[in-house]
Amino acid sequence: MNLIALSADPAGFPEQAASFTLSGPSGKLEAISDVAEPTLARRGVAVICHPHPLQGGTMHNKVVTMVERALRESGLDTVRFNFRGTGASEGSYDNGNGESDDLAAVVDWVRRVRPGDAVWLAGFSFGSYVTIRSAVRLRADALISIAPPAGRWPFETIELPTSPWLVVQGEEDEVVEPQAVFDWIDSMQDPPELIRMPETSHFFHRRLMDLRGAVKHAVREWLPPSRS
């Protein structure tokens, strides 16, 4: 990806892949955006969150970038960013609370520069916890959760979204207990769409292209109208 570097807080959504910083609650947040091919473009933006910062998670994680690619190829423009204290983002880790505020700041920017667009949230592992707990407050139009860490974070206290929602879980995840995820979903009155991927580890080793295809297929019916 060839990125153009922009100044802080761009006044409009970049027209090509770009890196920039946004004003966050604890200082600047490092971000990257990209745009769908014009022939595919839909009136929507996906904001994608990375795994745990204290365990090496960044916006450059391979699962994050594959989900970004799947959504961009589906016609959505995309934004991914580093939580506070990660990469060039300022601040320090805050146990999911401050990170939820970081996400809110990014979504606020998206809504300023793309008024009227649908806003989707996607996250991997810790990033899925942050997006799930924020989905109702941020009025997400759709939610995509990859390996949500049920059993490791207080999911039982979260107000669950009613928007379209996809969960993808590897059946051989060595970080998130798969059965905890399945039990959590079974407990819901209005559960999300669940894709169980056999022979798949937490980081989707050798299964990243399968993840891409699964996401693209699952969200096809949820896509917002064409941008043209």
Query: What is the overall mean pLDDT for the chain?
Result: 97
Share of the chain above pLDDT 90, in %: 97
Residue 227 lies in a domain: no
Residue 178 lies in a domain: yes
Where residue 78 sits, what CATH number does that domain have? 3.40.50.1820
Q: Hunting for tokens 């979204």 — which residue is that?
A: 161
Ramachandran assignment for 85, one of left (phi > 0), alpha (psi -120 to 50 degrees), beta (any other): left
Residue 171 lies in a domain: yes
Helix (H, G, I), strand (E, B) or coil at 86: coil
Q: Could you give the CA distance from residue 16 to residue 130 in angstroms, rounded to a whole number?
A: 27
Number of domains in the chain: 1
| Domain span at 129 | 4-222
pLDDT tens track for 167-209: 999 999 999 999 999 999 999 999 999 999 999 999 999 999 9
Strand pairing partners for 118? 44
Q: Could you give the CA distance from residue 163 to residue 170 in angstroms, rounded to a whole number?
A: 23
pLDDT of residue 2: 84
